[in-house]
Amino acid sequence: MKLNPYRLACAMANAEMTAGELCDITQVSNKMIAAYIAGKGNPKPSTVGKLAKALNCKVEYIAEED
């Protein structure tokens, strides 16, 4: 699964959440959060679910279609 880096950053801004805070909530490493924001990496669906839940958005909003 691939994330849309722009939408991920927008969801973080809407939630007023830093990458570090997102890392703490989701238990996803800061290195991986930074990679997703940079448009790199393919997280597992469960990770995308954790990110969406923490950001209070739908998976479909932050994920890209393959």
CATH number at residue 39: 1.10.260.40
What is the domain range of residue 48?
A: 2-64
| Spatial distance between the Cα atoms of 21 and 55, rounded to a whole number of angstroms | 11
**pLDDT tens readout for residues 34-43:** 999 999 988 9
| Residue 66's pLDDT band (cuts 50, 70, 90) | low
Number of structural domains in the chain: 1
What 8-state DSSP symbol labels residue 65?
P
Residue carrying the six token digits 């939630």? 15
**pLDDT tens readout for residues 43-62:** 999 999 999 999 999 999 99
Which residues lie across from 64 on neighbouring strands? 2
| Residue 65's pLDDT band (cuts 50, 70, 90) | confident
Task: Enter the pTM of the model.
Answer: 0.92
Whether the CA torsion 22, 26, 27, 29 is positive or negative: it is negative
